[in-house]
Amino acid sequence: MSESASAPGSHDPLPRFLDWLADARARKLPEPSAMALATVSPDGAPSVRMVLLKHADEHGFVFYTNLESPKAAALRARPEAELCFYWNPPGRQVRIHGTVTAVTDAEADAYFASRPYLSRVGAWASEQSRPLPSALALPRRVAEFTLRFAASVPRPPHWSGFRLAPTSVEFWEEKPYRLHERIVHRRASAGWTATPLYP
Ligand SMILES: Cc1cc2nc3c(=O)[nH]c(=O)nc-3n(C[C@H](O)[C@H](O)[C@H](O)COP(=O)(O)O)c2cc1C
């Protein structure tokens, strides 16, 4: 994924988030950019699943998915979500709450084009979260779309990304005797506030 730091601000949570992500990568943790994405359906039912962070900057946190999936339907109906990262070691959690918008077509096209060929074919082949009629249905669709898009694979109209613009970011760091360190940053009218919390 790509990322860029925003202008320095005393309580801007982005630089610390990027430091912690870089630390998780340097430790060679499996899937350091994996995050739980929690959504709420229009009738109030919570739902959570893992997705991969693909970009983070001062505008927000970007992930990609099938637009016909349950998570995409939930986000369109109620564009508010929470992300949660956990890296261990060193024992760190980051929770990010915010509002969600669709990324632009140009942004989705650029990221889609950077994916390996079979991942691009897979985005056409998978009817994400729909019932799989038989074990052969998926390999058959992969074969079909491989033939159809032998030369180049366009981005499917049902595949794009979402950007979560944070309204709060909470850092949690493991400390001895459960005296863990927590601090919540909240977006204010001008910049960010930071409030330590009991663990
Ligand atoms: C580590 C990990 C990373 C994943 N990354 C993505 C992702 O970036 N996008 C995605 O659509 N699904 C991803 N998935 C699959 C989702 O967790 C989920 O099964 C799928 O998107 C269907 O979710 P939904 O039915 O709630 O829409 C990932 C799963 C795991 C375990």
b (16+ CB within 10 A) / e for 79-92: bebbbbbebeeeeb
CA of 31 to the centre of ligand 1 (A): 13
Please indicate, yes or no, if residue 139 is contained in any of the structural domains. Answer: no
Ligand 1 pocket residue status of 34, Cβ below 6 Å: yes
pLDDT score for 1: 60
Tens of pLDDT, residue by residue over 67-110, are: 999 999 999 999 999 999 999 999 999 999 999 999 999 999 99
DSSP one-letter code for 103: P
pLDDT in tens, 32-63: 999 999 999 989 999 999 999 999 999 999 99
- Asked whether residue 78 is domain-assigned, the answer is yes
Q: State pLDDT tens for residues 102-158.
A: 999 999 999 999 999 999 999 999 999 999 999 999 999 999 999 999 999 999 999
Pairing outcome for strands 92-102 and 159-173: antiparallel
With a 6 Å cutoff on the Cβ, whether 54 touches ligand 1 is no
- At 112 the three-state DSSP class reads helix
Which atom of ligand 1 is found nearest the CA of 65?
Answer: 11
Tell me the pTM. 0.95
Q: Which of 178, 182, 186, 187 is catalytic?
A: 178
Tell me the two tokens of residue 46. Answer: 């919570």
Q: How many domains does the chain have?
A: 1
Give residue 4's pLDDT band: very low, low, confident or very high (50, 70, 90).
very low
Of all protein residues, whose CA lies closest to atom 5 belonging to ligand 1? 51
Which tokens hold the place of 30? 């499996």
Residue 2's pLDDT band (boundaries 50, 70, 90)? low
Helix, strand or coil for residue 91? coil
Q: Tell whether 116 is covered by a domain.
A: no
The verdict on residue 133 lying in a domain is no
73 in contact with ligand 1, CB cutoff 6 A: no
Structural domain contains residue 180: yes
186 given a catalytic annotation: no
Q: How many whole angstroms from its chain centre is CA 182?
A: 22
Ligand 1 centroid distance, CA of 154 (Å): 21
Label residue 10 by pLDDT band (50, 70, 90): confident
Cβ 128 under 6 angstroms from ligand 1: yes
Report long-range pairs for 27-35 (Cβ below 8 Å, ≥24 apart). Answer: 27/87, 27/89, 27/90, 29/87, 29/88, 29/89, 32/87, 33/1, 34/85, 35/61, 35/63, 35/83, 35/84, 35/85
What is the structure's pLDDT at 5?
Answer: 42
> Which atom of ligand 1 is the closest one to the Cα of 69?
27
Range of the domain at 6: 2-107+158-197
The long-range contacts involving 191-196, CB below 8 angstroms and separated by at least 24 positions, are 191/9, 191/10, 191/11, 191/12, 192/9, 192/11, 192/12, 192/13, 193/11, 194/11, 194/13
d(CA 17, CA 1): 14
pLDDT tens digits along 171-196: 999 999 999 999 999 999 989 999 99
What is the atom index within ligand 1 of the atom nearest the CA of 39?
26
User: Which CATH number does the domain housing residue 173 bear?
Assistant: 2.30.110.10
Res 7: pLDDT = 42
